[in-house]
C-alpha cells in the first residue's frame, strides 16, 4: 500500500488565516471586553430560561408579607369584621365586633385578632379574656386625637381623683378590665396615640379631665405584651393597674424627649409578679415608674407593687429618670430588682421619690449592673416630693425606706453620681453600695451627697462616698464607721 499525504486544501489555508486573525482581533482590550460581556450575558440568558417562570431576572417580585402565626385555636383578620386600613376610615366598630365575637370563644381557648399591614384609625376599644391582639409588620393602630371620642372613667380608686384634674379621667385607647389571659403582640406593629394634640391642649389648659393612657389593663391576670412599638401616648403609655402575672418583653416605647408631658413608658401600679425585659424606651417622662397609690387613697386601697423584675433595658429620659419608684407609692413597693440597664442622655438615672403624707414603704430594692452614660444625677432618693391629690392627707403619714442596695454601678459623663436625701421624719435605713465607679464631669464639690442615711460601702466605690456611710473592705470587714448619719451635704445647685 502506498502512503499518500493529504492534499492541500482550502480548509487548511483557512486555519492558517484564523491563527493570524485571532491575535489581531483581540489586540484591542475593548473588543475583548465586549466579547466576554456578550458571552456572559448569553450564559445568564440561557440559565434563566431554564428556570420555571421564565426570565425572572427581569421580573420585579413584590416582597411577600411575613406570615402571621396562629397563637390561638381560632384566628381572624380585622378585615373580616369590616375593618379598612386606609388611615381615614374609623374602625372602632370593626374592633368592637371582633372583640365581641372572640369573647364567646373562651371555652375553646379564645381567639386571635390579626391587624394586617395598614393604618387602622380607631377610637378607644376594650379587649376581652383569652384574646391575642396581633399587629402585623407595618400595621398601625392609630388613635383618634379628638377627645370627644374618648370615654370618661372614674378616677383610679387608689388615687382618689384624676392625676391632673378632679373627677373623671379619660380612658385608654386600648383598655381591659377584669380579664385573664390577654396577649398583645406582633411583628413589631405600632400602636400610635397621636399624643401631639393632647400635649398641646394640656399646655394650653384646654382639657377639663386627666388625659388617658395608651394601653391600660386593670384588675387582670396573665398579661403578655411583646414585640410591638408604642408611641406618642396622650399620657402614661403602658399602665397595668392592680394586675398579677404581667410580662412585658421586646417592646419599644417612644415619645418626644421634650414637650411630651407625662408620657411615662411603663407604670406598673399596685401590681404583683411583673417582668419587664429587653425593651427600648425613650419618652418625655420616667421610662419606668413603679406606683401603688396616692396618699390616703393609696393607703386605704392597700395594694402594693411587689415581686417586680426589670432587666436588659436601654432607656432615656431627658425630663425625669430612667427607672423610678413613686412618687405615688402609698400602698407600698417591695421586692424589686433592676438589673442590666443602660441609661443614656438622661436627667436622672434611677430614682426613688416620696414625701410626708404618702405613708407606705419602699423596701427590699436591688439595683445591679447599671450603666449611666451622660446622666446629670445617677442615683437619687428624694423624700420631699410634695404633690398631693388634696389637702386632706395625713401629714404624719411618713413612708419607710429601707433595705436598698446598689451593686456594680458604672458610667461616664455623670455630674452628680449619688444624691440620697432622707430627712429627720423619713430617714433612709440599710442602704448599701458595692463596686461602683462612675466617671464624673463636676469635680469642684463633694458629689456623693447624702442626708439622714444609714448604710455602708463595701469595697471600691468611686467617687468617694459621703461620711454618713460605714466603710467595709472586700471581705466585709469594717474599716471605718460613719461619723454622723444625719449629716447633710445635699446641694441641688450642682
The residues annotated with a catalytic role in the active site are: 285
CA distance 170 to 179: 20
Q: Is the distance from CB of 118 to CB of 140 less than 8 angstroms?
A: yes
Grid cell for residue 108:
375553646
Contacts of 97 (CB under 8 A, 6+ apart): 81, 82
Q: Identify which of 403, 251, 242 has the alpha carbon closest to the alpha carbon of residue 336.
A: 403
Residue keyed to cell 467595709: 472
Q: Is the distance from CB of 191 to CB of 150 less than 8 angstroms?
A: no
Q: How far is CA 193 from CA 50, 256, 446, in A?
A: 52, 13, 44
Q: Under DSSP, is residue 382 helix (H, G, I), strand (E, B) or coil?
A: strand
CA distance 494 to 489: 12
Q: How far is CA 159 from CA 118, 271, 320, 359, in A?
A: 38, 15, 21, 13
Q: Under DSSP, is residue 17 helix (H, G, I), strand (E, B) or coil?
A: helix
CA distance 180 to 424: 44
Q: Is the distance from CB of 289 to CB of 324 less than 8 angstroms?
A: yes
The strand pair at 305-317 and 333-353 is best described as parallel
Grid cell for residue 423:
430627712
CA distance 387 to 390: 9
Burial class from Cβ neighbours inside 10 Å (0-12, 13-18, 19+) for residue 435 reads: middle
Q: What is the DSSP string of 40-89?
A: HHHHHHHHHHTSTTS-GGG---PPPPPPPP--SSEEEEGGGGT---EEEE
Sign of the alpha-carbon torsion through 455, 461, 462, 464 = positive
Amino acid at each position: 500500500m502506498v502512503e499518500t499525504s493529504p492534499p492541500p486544501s482550502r480548509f487548511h489555508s483557512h486555519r492558517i488565516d484564523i491563527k493570524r486573525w485571532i491575535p489581531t482581533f483581540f489586540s484591542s482590550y475593548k473588543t475583548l471586553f465586549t466579547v466576554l460581556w456578550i458571552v456572559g450575558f448569553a450564559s445568564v440568558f440561557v440559565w434563566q430560561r431554564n428556570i420555571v417562570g421564565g426570565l425572572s431576572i427581569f421580573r420585579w417580585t413584590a416582597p411577600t408579607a411575613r406570615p402571621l402565626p396562629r397563637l390561638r385555636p381560632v384566628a381572624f383578620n380585622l378585615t373580616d369584621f369590616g375593618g379598612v386600613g386606609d388611615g381615614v376610615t374609623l374602625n372602632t366598630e370593626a374592633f368592637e365586633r371582633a372583640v365581641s365575637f372572640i369573647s364567646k370563644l373562651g371555652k375553646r381557648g379564645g381567639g386571635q385578632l390579626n391587624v394586617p399591614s395598614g393604618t387602622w384609625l380607631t377610637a378607644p376599644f376594650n379587649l376581652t379574656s383569652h384574646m391575642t391582639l396581633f399587629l402585623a409588620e407595618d400595621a398601625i393602630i392609630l388613635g383618634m386625637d379628638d377627645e370627644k371620642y374618648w370615654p370618661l372613667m372614674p378616677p383610679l380608686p387608689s388615687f382618689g381623683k384624676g392625676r391632673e384634674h378632679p373627677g373623671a379621667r379619660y380612658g385608654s385607647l386600648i383598655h381591659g378590665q377584669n380579664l385573664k389571659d390577654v396577649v398583645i403582640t406582633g411583628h413589631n406593629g405600632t400602636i400610635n396615640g397621636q399624643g401631639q394634640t393632647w400635649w398641646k391642649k394640656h399646655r394650653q389648659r384646654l382639657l377639663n379631665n386627666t388625659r388617658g393612657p395608651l394601653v391600660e389593663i386593670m384588675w387582670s391576670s396573665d398579661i403578655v405584651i411583646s414585640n410591638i412599638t408604642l408611641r406618642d401616648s396622650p399620657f402614661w403609655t403602658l399602665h397595668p393597674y392592680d394586675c398579677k402575672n404581667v410580662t412585658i418583653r421586646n417592646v419599644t416605647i417612644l415619645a418626644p424627649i421634650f414637650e411630651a408631658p407625662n408620657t411615662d413608658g411603663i407604670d406598673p401600679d399596685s401590681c404583683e409578679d411583673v417582668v419587664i425585659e429587653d425593651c427600648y424606651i425613650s419618652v418625655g417622662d420616667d421610662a419606668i415608674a413603679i406606683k401603688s397609690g396616692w396618699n390616703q387613697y393609696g393607703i386605704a386601697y392597700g395594694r402594693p407593687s411587689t415581686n417586680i423584675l426589670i432587666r436588659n433595658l436601654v432607656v432615656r429620659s431627658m425630663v425625669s429618670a430612667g427607672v423610678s419608684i413613686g412618687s405615688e407609692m402609698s400602698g407600698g413597693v417591695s421586692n424589686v430588682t433592676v438589673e442590666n440597664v443602660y441609661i443614656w442622655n438622661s436627667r436622672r438615672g434611677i430614682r426613688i421619690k416620696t414625701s410626708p403624707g404618702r405613708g407606705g414603704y419602699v423596701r427590699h430594692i436591688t439595683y445591679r449592673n447599671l450603666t449611666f452614660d451622660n446622666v446629670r444625677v445617677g442615683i437619687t432618693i428624694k423624700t420631699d416630693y410634695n404633690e398631693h391629690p388634696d389637702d386632706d392627707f395625713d401629714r404624719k403619714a411618713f413612708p419607710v425606706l429601707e433595705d436598698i442596695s446598689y451593686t456594680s454601678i458604672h458610667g461616664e459623663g455623670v455630674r452628680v453620681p449619688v444624691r440620697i436625701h432622707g430627712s429627720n421624719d423619713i430617714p433612709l435605713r440599710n442602704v448599701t453600695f458595692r463596686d461602683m465607679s462612675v466617671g464624673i464631669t463636676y469635680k469642684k464639690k463633694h458629689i456623693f451627697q447624702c442626708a439622714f442615711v444609714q448604710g455602708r460601702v463595701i469595697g471600691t466605690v468611686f467617687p468617694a462616698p459621703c461620711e454618713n456611710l460605714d466603710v467595709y473592705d472586700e471581705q466585709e470587714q469594717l474599716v471605718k464607721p460613719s461619723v454622723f448619719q444625719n449629716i447633710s451635704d445635699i446641694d441641688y445647685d450642682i
